Amino acid sequence: MQNNTTELPVIIIGAGPVGLAAAAHLHARGLRPLVLEAGASVAAAIRGWGNTRLFSPWRYNIDEAARRLLEADGWQEPDLEALPTGHELVDDYLTPLAAALKDVIRTGSRVVAVSREDIDKTRSANRDSTPLLVRVALADGSYDDVHARSVIDASGTWSRPNPLGRSGLPAPGETRAAASGLITQSLPAVTGAERERFAGRHVLVVGAGHSAANTLLDLAELAEEVPETRISWAVRSADVSSAYGGESDDELAARGALGSRLRALVESGVIDVHTSFVISGFEFSGDRLRVLTTEAKDLTVDVLVPATGFRPDLSILSELRLELDPAVEAPRQLGPLIDPEFHSCGSVEPHGEQVLSHPEPGFYIVGMKSYGRAPTFLMATGYEQVRSIAAALAGDRAAADAVHLDLPETGVCSTDLGGSCDAPAEPQLVSVGRSTQASSTCC
Ligand SMILES: Cc1cc2nc3c(=O)[nH]c(=O)nc-3n(C[C@H](O)[C@H](O)[C@H](O)COP(=O)(O)OP(=O)(O)OC[C@H]3O[C@@H](n4cnc5c(N)ncnc54)[C@H](O)[C@@H]3O)c2cc1C
């Protein structure tokens, strides 16, 4: 066992935008990052929704430490007001960033557990001077144990969609329907590679967030070319209007426009809306899917696209001493700041290392995963999280605590396009310590 952990790398789980930004900040601080990425290449999760256009322009999507590294490598920044697709974000920013970071990223390396060398969760003695141990499953089926002075979990939530059934559980028949392909993944490439799955079919989209809006708009485009395509949209709430978001009041114009276009399609009858739609089960009807509901609003469709949000996979962290908000599954102090039941605007105070710390020394959850089940995360929030953590790990407490965020507002206080936000709003402008900021963000 190594007692001097300072010689060990800081391991980052996941090479998404926040994981790579963490590596850039650690590099800038003279620390040694090692990024472990499950996918065959960086940003594998974003590739999963690569055809979707982001609602935040480039100016909010580029981390400052990453920018400095890229510019030293001769990178040309994109038009800061343009809205990239997921694929463009990867091709024009994250792939060059990975190249600029040089040899600190291992792809094909899925982290399956995090613990401490030779001691389990129950042992307290010498915990903070004992290296963290990260177990990695390799592509050939073998395992590798890697040691770290600190671990930053930036593995996102993309691989864990929320189930469609009520009570937070899969409905009877749901797993089988997904395995048979009648239920797709979120954000399929409706007008791209997966077009044939949807053209001329009856498609049901379930959910009220940004992903649902994107899929519905893509389906409407497809229906213009193939008029037999039938679009149904089901939400649990009694009224769908909250899903339109801030429209012209949204500071992110693209996100506001999304809501307006959706409203127009619903009002013109292109999209058939089903409210108070609570799924109780699935049955097969030939090669179609019968969606059963609690209030006898059953529907038979050709294919169902879920857009019901995501939740974090905490199983890989079960040997660590975590402190999580019991409802949102975000770090304890962060949970109340982002809980969608109370923060419908997604207002978030700037926060960094202190708020993100756990009883487990040197371990942090950042990025999309740090928001647990809350749907309101933006990349810029994650960039500030990892800037602060890198400063703390480098011993610069003042920089770690001087947290600041500058994000656009949605222009709505009762809902957003991010999901289940339907409670009264918190004030959108907040002042915390030495930093002031307003943010109101949903994805
Ligand atoms: C459709 C959509 C649109 C969005 N639009 C915006 C937007 O416009 N603006 C904005 O600011 N935010 C947006 N977001 C929200 C959020 O900023 C993005 O999801 C962003 O990609 C989150 O970054 P991340 O690095 O935290 O996680 P991810 O991008 O999800 O990256 C996590 C990485 O970890 C890897 N990984 C997962 N598990 C493991 C493991 N066990 N071991 C090793 N590696 C692992 C994954 O393969 C992935 O590469 C959007 C999200 C979605 C889904």
Q: What is the pLDDT of residues 87-140, one digit of tens each?
A: 999 999 999 999 999 999 999 999 999 999 999 999 999 999 999 999 999 878
Residue 5: per-residue pLDDT: 84
Which one is predicted more confidently, 359 or 255? Answer: 359
Residue 421: per-residue pLDDT: 33
Q: What is the pLDDT of residues 35-76, one digit of tens each?
A: 999 999 999 999 999 999 998 899 999 999 999 999 999 999
Residue 194: per-residue pLDDT: 94
Residue 407: per-residue pLDDT: 73
From 88, 368, 385, give the residue whose CB has the most ligand 1 atoms within 8 Å, as the site to mutate.
368
**C-alpha separations of 343 from 310, 328, 334, 337, 429 in Å:** 18, 12, 12, 7, 12
Measured from CB, residues less than 6 Å from any atom of ligand 1 are 13-19, 36-39, 43-46, 49, 52, 54-56, 60, 110-111, 154-156, 158-159, 187, 211, 316, 367-368, 377-379, 382, 443
* Cα 254 to averaged position of ligand 1 atoms, centre (Å): 20
Q: Which atom of ligand 1 is nearest to the CA of 55?
A: 8
* Cα 290 to averaged position of ligand 1 atoms, centre (Å): 32
* Cα 4 to averaged position of ligand 1 atoms, centre (Å): 33
> What number of other Cβ atoms are within 10 A of residue 303's Cβ?
20
- 435: β partners: 432
pLDDT-derived band at 1, boundaries 50, 70, 90: very low
Residue 343: per-residue pLDDT: 66
Q: How many residues does the chain have?
A: 443
- The verdict on domain 10-159+311-442 having CATH code 3.20.20.70 is no
- Indicate whether 241 pLDDT > 90: no
pLDDT-derived band at 254, boundaries 50, 70, 90: confident
Which one is predicted more confidently, 428 or 351? Answer: 351
Residue 368: per-residue pLDDT: 97
pLDDT-derived band at 417, boundaries 50, 70, 90: very low
Q: Which atom of ligand 1 is nearest to the CA of 83?
A: 8
% of the chain exceeding 90 in pLDDT: 78
* Cα 60 to averaged position of ligand 1 atoms, centre (Å): 15
CA pair distance 169, 310, nearest whole angstrom: 13
- Indicate whether 409 pLDDT > 90: no
From 95, 155, 318, 376, give the residue whose CB has the most ligand 1 atoms within 8 Å, as the site to mutate.
155
For the chain, the structural domain boundaries read 10-159+311-442, 166-306
Which one is predicted more confidently, 234 or 341? Answer: 234
CA pair distance 100, 18, nearest whole angstrom: 15
pTM for this predicted structure: 0.90
Q: Which atom of ligand 1 is nearest to the CA of 158?
A: 30
CATH topology of domain 166-306: FAD/NAD(P)-binding domain (3.50.50)
Q: What is the pLDDT of residues 256-310, one digit of tens each?
A: 888 899 999 999 999 999 999 999 999 999 999 999 999 889 999 999 999 999 9
User: Where is average pLDDT lowest: 16-30, 145-159, 424-438?
Assistant: 424-438
316: phi > 0 → left, psi -120 to 50 → alpha, else beta; which?
alpha
Residue 249: per-residue pLDDT: 73
- Indicate whether 431 pLDDT > 70: no
Residue 344: per-residue pLDDT: 54
Residue 291: per-residue pLDDT: 98
* Cα 62 to averaged position of ligand 1 atoms, centre (Å): 14
Angle at the Cα of 105 from the Cα atoms of 103 and 107, rounded to 5 degrees: 125
From 49, 54, 369, give the residue whose CB has the most ligand 1 atoms within 8 Å, as the site to mutate.
54
Q: Which atom of ligand 1 is nearest to the CA of 36?
A: 43
Kindly report the average pLDDT of the chain as a whole number.
Answer: 89
